[in-house]
């Protein structure tokens, strides 16, 4: 057996073991592990974190995760006595996911926003303040960015907060406070959460649409037996898809790295949710909508630009016109967002969006998670150059793979995004542990994207195995 065959066999075995673990006890076994470990993580965070917003999150979230763990234990007992009970089914698991997200992300978020208005300045991470200040500058001056000279004039301890290392669209989340003043609901995190919930909700609704083939068969009055057979296959497929969606949503919401990020900082979550919505639109062949969604994400943060590139390659593979439809939003929206800032003060734009993230600002980024890129940059002579070279090499390798084996499905595009961003996060000289929410969520959505179509309206080459039972 060749090395390639061994690698493919190992990968197939790994996917098979993962599916088996994921579906154990109808998905409840993995739910229990997720909620139990999350309870421990939140409790440890509350007790040991050196970041006060994180401590405050942990003290509330630990209770929410613990209650989720207790409910899952109850569901397992119910399933043992009545395997077909709805209380232990996919819909109940989905409902628990929503409630747990509210308890572990939204409740701590609102709590911290209220305490912050009451005078607790340790109830938000720096990025919340940065976004709100950028919204005020956008309203007053037409650009969210300060010039290098203006940042240099700030007191030393405030220069870091003078930088806005985001795309111009992120300042929109700071406009509520700039317009309505300092009240709890104008906290930028509230609007991060609203945008995240709307985008994820639309993605789930889109992926759960009834299969077009079965609906068409019903309308056309096809043979009853044929429709019944198709309907049975579609029902099994829908059950597997819904279970995959529950797991995907869990890993984009209640997973501690996501819940903690939203409650204390939050700027990454709307970017992630819009990217997931774009992938869902692509899975349903809605490439104009996919372009608009990923374009909005790219107008918020640079992390979405690689996702836009992968989706563009996927769309071009589907057809030149399809590529143009996606490019209109994916490329057009970020460029349009840059125009006002470029016209008002191009030097300030370059200082904030390019020079500071690349390490050439007046102050350095505090991002210092001990991933390989950071360790190389700190430990080796010319370490930043070495880490940057490795990052470029990884980018070139991914680009070659995109050209040689372009993603033909939305699920393949999600795999490219997940593994590509994972490599980038690990190799960046300055990075944060929280950025891992991107690759985790993209990879978690792959099964749901694969099951977005039934076997009847999926090309033979793109079909996943038909589930024999609803997991």
pLDDT in tens, 325-349: 999 999 999 999 999 999 999 999 9
Q: What is the pLDDT of residue 189?
A: 97
Q: What is the pLDDT of residue 284?
A: 94
Reported as a pLDDT band with limits 50, 70 and 90, residue 453 is: low
Between CA 235 and CA 48 the distance in angstroms is 47
Specify the higher pLDDT residue, 470 or 58: 58
Whether the predicted pLDDT of 105 surpasses 60: yes
**224-253 and 28-48 are packed helices; what angle lies between their axes, rounded to 10 degrees?**
10
- Beta-carbon neighbour count of residue 223 at 10 Å? 9
What is the CA angle 250-205-188, rounded to 5?
60
Burial environment of residue 305 by CB neighbours within 10 A (0 to 12, 13 to 18, 19 or more): middle
Average the pLDDT over 192-221 and give the result.
76
Is 241 within 8 Å of 284 (Cβ atoms)? no
Cα 112 to Cα 48, 57, 108: the distances in Å are 19, 8, 6
Reported as a pLDDT band with limits 50, 70 and 90, residue 431 is: confident
Q: What is the pLDDT of residue 166?
A: 94
Tens-digit pLDDT profile for residues 253-290? 999 999 999 999 989 999 999 999 999 999 999 999 99
Percent of the chain topping pLDDT 70: 87
**Least confidently predicted of 250-254, 279-283, 436-440, 454-458:** 454-458
Is 181 within 8 Å of 145 (Cβ atoms)? no
Q: What is the pLDDT of residue 460?
A: 39
Whether the predicted pLDDT of 145 surpasses 90: yes
Read off φ and ψ for residue 121, nearest 5 degrees. -75, -5
Q: What is the pLDDT of residue 463?
A: 41
Residue for token digits 């429709």? 227
Q: What is the pLDDT of residue 19?
A: 76
Q: What is the pLDDT of residue 4?
A: 42
Q: What is the pLDDT of residue 213?
A: 43
375-396 CB burial, b ≥16 within 10 A, e <16: ebbeeeeebbebbbebbeebee
Tens-digit pLDDT profile for residues 344-372? 999 999 999 988 887 788 888 777 678 88
Is 235 within 8 Å of 210 (Cβ atoms)? no
What is the CA angle 153-154-156, rounded to 5?
115
Is 322 within 8 Å of 281 (Cβ atoms)? no
Q: What is the pLDDT of residue 209?
A: 79
Reported as a pLDDT band with limits 50, 70 and 90, residue 9 is: low
Reported as a pLDDT band with limits 50, 70 and 90, residue 46 is: very high
Reported as a pLDDT band with limits 50, 70 and 90, residue 383 is: confident
Whether the predicted pLDDT of 215 surpasses 50: no
Average the pLDDT over 452-463 and give the result.
51
Whether the predicted pLDDT of 138 surpasses 50: yes
Whether the predicted pLDDT of 221 surpasses 50: no
Average the pLDDT over 452-467 and give the result.
48
Mean residue pLDDT of the chain comes to 87
Specify the higher pLDDT residue, 233 or 322: 322
Q: What is the pLDDT of residue 470?
A: 34
What is the CA angle 88-246-29, rounded to 5?
50
Specify the higher pLDDT residue, 72 or 384: 72
Between CA 21 and CA 197 the distance in angstroms is 28
Q: What is the pLDDT of residue 376?
A: 84
10-32 CB burial, b ≥16 within 10 A, e <16: eeeeeeeeebeebbebbbbebbb
Average the pLDDT over 198-204 and give the result.
97
The DSSP code for 362 is S
Specify the higher pLDDT residue, 365 or 376: 376
Q: What is the pLDDT of residue 234?
A: 67
Specify the higher pLDDT residue, 187 or 235: 187
Q: What is the pLDDT of residue 377?
A: 78
Spell out the alpha helix ranges (H) of 82-211: 90-101, 107-117, 126-141, 148-152, 159-162, 175-180, 188-207
HEC profile for the chain?
CCHHHHHHHHHHHHHHHHHHHHHHHHHHHHHHHHHHHHHHHHHHHHHHCCCHHHHHHHHHHHHHHHHHHHHHHHHHHHHHHCCCCHHHCHHHHHHHHHHHHHHHHHHHHHHHHHHHHCCCCCCCCHHHHHHHHHHHHHHHHCCCCCCHHHHHCCCHHHHHHHCCCCCHHHHHHHHHHHHHCCCHHHCHHHHHHHHHHHHHHHHHHHHCCCCHHHHHHHHHCCCHHHHHHHHHHHHHHHHHHHHHHHHHHHHHHCCHHHHHHHHHCCCHHHHHHHHHHHHHHHHCCCHHHHHHHHHHHHCCCCCHHHHHHHHHHHHHHHCHHHHHHHHHHHCHHHHHHHHHHHHHHHHHHHHHHHHCCCCCCCCCCCCCCCCHHHHHHHHCCCHHHHHHHHHHHHHHHHHHHHHHCCCCCHHHHHHHHHHHHHHHHHHCCCCCHHHHHHHHHHHHCHHHHHCCCCHHHCCHHHCCCCCCCCC
**Least confidently predicted of 135-139, 175-179, 224-228, 425-429:** 224-228
């Amino acid at each position: 057996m060749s090395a390639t065959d061994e690698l493919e066999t190992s990968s197939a075995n790994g996917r098979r073991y993962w599916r088996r673990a994921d579906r154990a006890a109808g998905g409840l076994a993995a739910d229990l592990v997720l909620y139990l470990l999350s309870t421990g993580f939140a409790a440890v965070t509350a007790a040991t974190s050196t970041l006060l917003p994180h401590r405050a999150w942990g003290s509330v979230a630990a209770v929410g995760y613990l209650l989720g763990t207790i409910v899952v234990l109850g569901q397992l007992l119910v399933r043992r006595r009545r395997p077909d009970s709805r209380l232990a089914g996919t819909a109940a698991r989905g409902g628990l996911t929503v409630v747990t997200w509210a308890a572990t992300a939204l409740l701590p978020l609102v709590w911290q926003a209220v305490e912050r208005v009451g005078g607790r300045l340790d109830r938000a991470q720096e990025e919340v303040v940065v976004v709100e200040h950028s919204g005020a500058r956008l309203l007053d001056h037409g650009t969210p960015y300060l010039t290098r000279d203006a940042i240099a004039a700030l007191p030393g301890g405030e220069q870091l907060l003078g930088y806005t290392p985001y795309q111009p669209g992120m300042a929109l989340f700071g406009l509520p406070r700039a317009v309505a003043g300092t009240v709890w609901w104008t906290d930028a995190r509230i609007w991060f959460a609203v945008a995240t919930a709307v985008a994820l909700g639309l993605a789930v609704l889109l992926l759960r649409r009834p299969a077009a083939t079965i609906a068409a068969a019903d309308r056309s009055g096809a043979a009853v037996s044929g429709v019944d057979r198709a309907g049975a296959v579609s029902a099994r497929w829908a059950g597997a898809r819904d279970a995959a969606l529950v797991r995907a949503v869990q890993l984009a919401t209640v997973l501690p790295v996501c819940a903690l990020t939203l409650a204390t900082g939050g700027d990454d979550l709307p970017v992630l949710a819009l990217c997931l919505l774009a992938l869902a639109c692509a899975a349903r062949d809605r490439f104009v909508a996919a372009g608009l969604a990923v374009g909005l994400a790219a107008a918020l943060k640079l992390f979405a630009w690689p996702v836009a590139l992968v989706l563009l390659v996927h769309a071009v593979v589907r057809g030149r016109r399809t590529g143009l439809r996606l490019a209109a939003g994916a490329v057009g929206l970020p460029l349009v967002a840059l125009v006002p800032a470029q016209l008002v003060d191009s030097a300030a734009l370059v200082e904030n969006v390019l020079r500071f993230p690349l390490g050439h600002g007046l102050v350095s980024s505090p991002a210092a998670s001990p991933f390989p890129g950071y360790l190389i940059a700190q430990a080796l002579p010319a370490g930043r150059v070495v880490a940057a070279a490795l990052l470029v090499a990884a980018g070139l390798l991914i680009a070659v793979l995109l050209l040689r084996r372009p993603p033909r499905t939305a699920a393949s595009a999600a795999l490219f995004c997940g593994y590509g961003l994972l490599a980038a996060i690990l190799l960046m000289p300055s990075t944060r542990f929280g950025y891992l929410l991107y690759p985790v969520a993209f990879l978690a959505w792959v099964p749901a994207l694969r099951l977005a179509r039934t076997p009847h309206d999926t090309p033979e080459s793109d079909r996943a195995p038909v589930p024999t039972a609803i997991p």
